[in-house]
């Protein structure tokens, strides 16, 4: 897992054709605001999170975020044990995101 600043993540998303943006917050948080083109997999719903991981393509580059960066680090650690290798964590989460947001 590599930590990225908001600026670094914006650059990666602009240039990575194999990017997958993953939001690991709750549905309520996601509906409040999210980064465009992100997919929600709530880490606080363990069964749903694990089931969701089964459906993901391990060859993608995963850019993971939450509110402040704690849950996304946990998500990356779990994903690593499931065989995901290309993992990037947004430092400070969406609270430090300087790019475009929905809502």
User: Tell me: the pLDDT tens digits for 24-36?
Assistant: 999 999 999 999 9
pLDDT surpasses 90 at 98: yes
Average of per-residue pLDDT across 53-78: 97
pLDDT in tens, 3-23: 999 999 999 999 999 999 999
Domains of the chain with bracketed CATH: 2-96 (3.40.250.10)
* Cα–Cα distance measured from residue 62 to residue 58, given in angstroms and rounded to the nearest whole number: 9
Contacts 24+ apart (CB under 8 A), 21-24: 21/63, 21/65, 22/62, 22/63, 22/64, 22/65, 22/75, 23/65, 23/66, 23/94, 24/49, 24/64, 24/65, 24/66, 24/71, 24/72, 24/74, 24/75
pLDDT surpasses 90 at 103: no
Measured CA to CA in angstroms, residue 13 lies from 6, 9, 27 at distances of 11, 6, 23
pLDDT surpasses 90 at 70: yes
Question: In the chain, pLDDT over 90 holds for what percent of residues?
Answer: 99
Query: Mean pLDDT, the chain, as a whole number?
Result: 97
């Amino acid at each position: 897992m590599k930590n990225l600043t908001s600026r670094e993540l914006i650059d990666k998303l602009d240039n990575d054709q194999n990017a997958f943006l993953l939001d690991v917050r709750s549905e309520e948080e996601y509906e409040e605001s999210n980064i465009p083109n992100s997919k929600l997999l709530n880490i606080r719903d363990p069964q749903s999170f694990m089931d969701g991981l089964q459906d993901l393509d391990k060859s993608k580059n995963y850019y993971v975020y939450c509110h402040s960066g704690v849950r996304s680090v946990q998500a990356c650690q779990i994903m690593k044990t499931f065989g995901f290798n290309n993992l990037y964590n947004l430092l400070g989460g969406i609270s430090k995101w300087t790019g475009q947001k929905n809502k």
